[in-house]
Amino acid sequence: MGMSDPNQLPPPIPPARGRGAEGLRRNLRRKRVVGNGPMTGSLAALSEVSAIAAAAREVSGVDVAVCPPFTLIAAAVARSGGVAIGAQDVHPAASGAHTGDISAAMLKEAHASLVIVGPSERRADHREDDALVRAKAEAALAAGLQTIVCVGETEPEREAGHHLAVVAAQLAGSLPEPSGEVELVIAYEPVWAIGTGRVAQPADVAEMHAAIRSHLRDTWGDAGERVRILYGGSVKADNAAELFAVADVDGALVGGASLTAAQFVPIIRAAAG
Ligand code: PGA
């Protein structure tokens, strides 16, 4: 579980010795399960974070994190028992007249260790484009926050057969240069699967994660092999194991099912295999 330093990069890939490169990669990219509670939560509900943390401590081999709204980060850290607590957004600037925004340094001070950038709601509702998502990711990495960059196509884009091209363009525009010290994570979240109960089919997830892996490899070589790629969109206890079995699915970004220990803990357990 997540007692290790969440900002530490996975170790370099050792030379393959008869076990197969894919098996080695799989071992190096241990699963990460991240809960995201968009504009959801209350101090009273943080008892769920305590329960999640207690259960996560009993599960080995999975990095667990919970990302509550800004107002609950400090209180969640106090109840997290070492499980990483993250934020749902960050402003790209270090300071300035940005009323209502939160900087990466402010998140660090609240003891957040990771941040989500570019989820579809912010890309749509706040008109965040790839360049802004990239600037946020750069600011977060520079401040030492593990950074989850979200990408994903809409339903019309998938129906038109443009999903791979859409996500390739998002990756090309949104990904920061690797900092070398702080972990960058990708979350593939098909927009039509978020909060709808319509999970993507494993074959479609496999196709997209393979395409993302190949983009990362082409861009960063070996460093691209170490980047974890999470799937997000209606992950539940009853579909998690099937999703985690897909090649290049290195974990999950979970919304609705991360709000209670009863629903989230089985997903953490499924990630442990
Ligand atoms: P969901 O949300 O799991 O409720 O579909 C995904 C997310 O918030 O990232």
For residue 164, the one-letter residue type is L
162 CA → ligand 1 middle, Å: 22
Q: What is the mean pLDDT of residues 30-46?
A: 92
Q: What is the pLDDT of residue 27?
A: 54
Contacts of 69 (CB under 8 A, 6+ apart): 37, 38, 39, 40, 41, 88
Pocket test for ligand 1, best of 230, 253, 263 (most atoms within 8 A of CB): 253
The CATH superfamily of 28-91+103-271 is Aldolase class I (3.20.20.70)
Which atom of ligand 1 is least distant from the CA of 233? Answer: 5
pTM for this one? 0.90
Q: Is the pLDDT of residue 273 over 90?
A: no
Residue whose CA is closest, atom 9 of ligand 1?
255
pLDDT band for 41, please (50, 70, 90 cuts): confident
What is the CB neighbour count within 10 angstroms for residue 272?
A: 16
Q: Is 39 left (phi over 0), alpha (psi -120 to 50) or beta?
A: left
In this predicted model, what pLDDT tens digit does every residue of 87-132 receive, in sequence order? 999 999 999 999 999 999 999 999 999 999 999 999 999 999 999 9
Name all residues whose Cβ lies below 6 A of ligand 1.
36, 38, 189, 194-195, 232-235, 253-257
Q: What is the pLDDT of residue 25?
A: 52
Q: What is the pLDDT of residue 81?
A: 87
Q: What is the pLDDT of residue 7?
A: 45
Q: What is the pLDDT of residue 10?
A: 42
In this predicted model, what pLDDT tens digit does every residue of 5-26 receive, in sequence order? 444 444 433 333 334 455 545 5
Q: What is the pLDDT of residue 38?
A: 84
In this predicted model, what pLDDT tens digit does every residue of 191-230 receive, in sequence order? 999 999 999 999 999 999 999 999 999 999 988 999 999 9
196 CA → ligand 1 middle, Å: 9
Which atom of ligand 1 is least distant from the CA of 189? Answer: 9
CA 184/CA 186 separation, integer angstroms: 7
What is the CB neighbour count within 10 angstroms for residue 66?
A: 32
